[in-house]
Amino acid sequence: MLQPFMKLQFASQLLSNCPFNDATLEFSDGSLSISRMILASHCKQFYDLFSENPNKDHFKCKNLKLCDFKIYYEYLHLDAEFIIDGAKLVSLMKVHAALNISDLMEKLNKWMVTENFASYLNYFFDQNTNNEVHKEQSNLARKFILQNLKSLCIIKAFERFSRDNFFSLLSNKFIKLANQDVLFQIIGQWVNHDFNTRKTDWLSLVRKLDFANITYFTIDTCMKENKNTFLVPELSQFFWVKMKEIMMKKNPLILSKSSWSKMILFGGKNAIDSVVEINIKKSSVKRISQLSIGKAHHCSERIGDYVFVLGDANNSQIENFDLEQMKWYNTSTLLQSFRDHDSVIVDRTIYVVGDYESKKFQRFDRREGKWSFLVDIPENAYYTSMSSWEQKITCIGGGIKARLMGQVYDIRNDKWEQIENLPIFIYGAKSLESESHIIVAGGYGTDKIHSYDKSKKIWSNLNIKLPKENWNVSKVLI
């Protein structure tokens, strides 16, 4: 039991008055008697210096100060008994920066990622201390933080930073050198530690990051585990756009709406078991298969590996089909039963409108697992045809009064507007949308395929038709 005490007592004596010291180091602010063997065994620079000058016993250290080096020399003597604090840490960081001592760097990295040390980090970026010495300390701290960023993220070392100090840490150079995935998480930790005060900074901070080096999983996990993201609408929208961009790069043919070239129509009132392919690029229509069970008045949407089948005239229950497990499940119910409706997905959120008896407009957010009402559609539009592009949803025709109408919902502004009237009455059609056009196929009593030019704001007929008049089908875009 006496061994640790004896070791500390012996080391202290050697540190204060060592009879074995054999050289002197001279600094700008004083000198220190040292043991060449101790220094050479820990630092290559000293090993080379002493080896090249074996008969010399006086050396100058121009790039260090005595006050800092004494802390390092104390650490070498006391080893495990050395007690670290904020001031000593700064001195050791300066010594490492000057001499590049590998074992000291390892020790600093271990200290850096302890929760006790995390409280010192804020000091390095204190904007109330603005001088050259403090700037030097901040730069040294950034280097060590970059080396230990992931470990510091795990212990949430930055969440207590003041706003000024956190912004000081996130210099452009620091952000460029940092792991973007980890920095994304650190920003979230800092904001959520004092959400009401810091939420307005969240979007501006993440905009500084390079999302080319942030994974889909990182953003998706943040949104699933952190409900506060949805309390900042501009932020959640920004995240969805970035996730979409990431996925489009990985699989553009699946996720880029601008790449859709075909619309597949399933079933329908007048062709209940048909499967028809409309090839927009080739300007062709053909029947490619048939359903084993005929379908009409149905509506479905796909999110990832799940297909949601949405209600009917007498049932508000949602059926969920797992494509991977090939099983059906019941999930949350609509806020009211819908019939003769249509749906569309925008940013993994399902929008449903077009009930026979009401103007209600519902949204299902799979992240929250619940439905909510939005502002009513202006004109009742049962049998409408829904499509979307970016943050707008278009409802073509439907109902009695809406058969000639194109009603457009702006998600960002939560309001409806209208486009030019259709050339004929349309209800029960299906549509797809791109940046420049809306394509509408079929509808009650027609086999025509119409196109709406968004820039010219005019409707026209395409020079192709369905195999026969058909309506109330379902669709898949590919």
Strands 349-353 and 342-346: antiparallel
Phi and psi of 42, rounded to 5°? -115, -20
Question: The CATH number of the domain where 76 resides is what?
Answer: 3.30.710.10
Residue 329 lies in a domain: no
Are residues 239 and 181 part of one domain? yes
Angle at 348 between CA 347 and CA 349, to 5 degrees: 90
Q: Which whole-number Å values give the CA distances from 22 to 25, 39, 49, 59, 123, in the listed order?
A: 10, 11, 14, 11, 38
Looking at the whole model, is its pTM more than 0.75?
no
Quick: pLDDT tens for 47-82: 998 999 989 989 988 788 888 888 888 888 777 677
Tokens 């399933």, residue located: 266
Contact assessment for residue 385 and residue 397, using Cβ atoms and an 8 Å cutoff: yes
Are residues 261 and 220 part of one domain? no
Are residues 171 and 89 part of one domain? no
Strands 349-353 and 300-303: unpaired
Quick: pLDDT tens for 5-32: 334 455 555 555 677 788 888 988 888 8
Contact assessment for residue 169 and residue 158, using Cβ atoms and an 8 Å cutoff: yes
Are residues 240 and 343 part of one domain? no
Residue 315 lies in a domain: no
Residue 353 lies in a domain: yes
Are residues 167 and 73 part of one domain? no
Are residues 446 and 364 part of one domain? yes
Question: The CATH number of the domain where 443 resides is what?
Answer: 2.120.10.80
Tell me, what's the pLDDT at 147? Answer: 80
Q: Which residues contact 72 (CB under 8 A, 6 or more apart)?
A: 91, 92, 95, 104
Are residues 274 and 230 part of one domain? no
Burial of residue 235, with CB atoms counted within 10 A of its CB: 0-12 exposed, 13-18 middle, 19 or more buried: buried
Distance CA 255, CA 252 (A): 5
Residue 319 lies in a domain: no
Q: Comparing C-alpha atoms, which of 36, 38, 37, 39 is closest to residue 23?
A: 36
Contact assessment for residue 223 and residue 185, using Cβ atoms and an 8 Å cutoff: no
Residue 99 lies in a domain: yes
For the chain, give the mean pLDDT.
Answer: 78
Residue 243 domain boundaries: 117-133+147-254
Residue 138 lies in a domain: no
Are residues 350 and 375 part of one domain? yes
Residue 310 has pLDDT above 60, yes or no: no
Q: Is 278 helix (H, G, I), strand (E, B) or coil?
A: strand
Quick: pLDDT tens for 210-238: 999 999 889 988 888 888 888 888 898 89
**For the chain, how many structural domains are there in total?**
3
Residue 223 lies in a domain: yes
Residue 234 lies in a domain: yes
DSSP letter assigned to residue 434: -
Are residues 126 and 104 part of one domain? no
Identify the band that residue 4 occupies on the pLDDT scale cut at 50, 70 and 90.
very low
Are residues 102 and 19 part of one domain? yes
Quick: pLDDT tens for 418-437: 999 999 889 889 999 988 89
Q: Comparing C-alpha atoms, which of 372, 426, 373 is closest to residue 395?
A: 426
Distance CA 275, CA 289 (A): 5
Distance CA 261, CA 287 (A): 16
Tell me, what's the pLDDT at 354? Answer: 74
Residue 167 has pLDDT above 70, yes or no: yes
Are residues 182 and 34 part of one domain? no
Are residues 127 and 192 part of one domain? yes
Tokens (6 digits) for 376: 């009513």
Identify the band that residue 315 occupies on the pLDDT scale cut at 50, 70 and 90.
very low
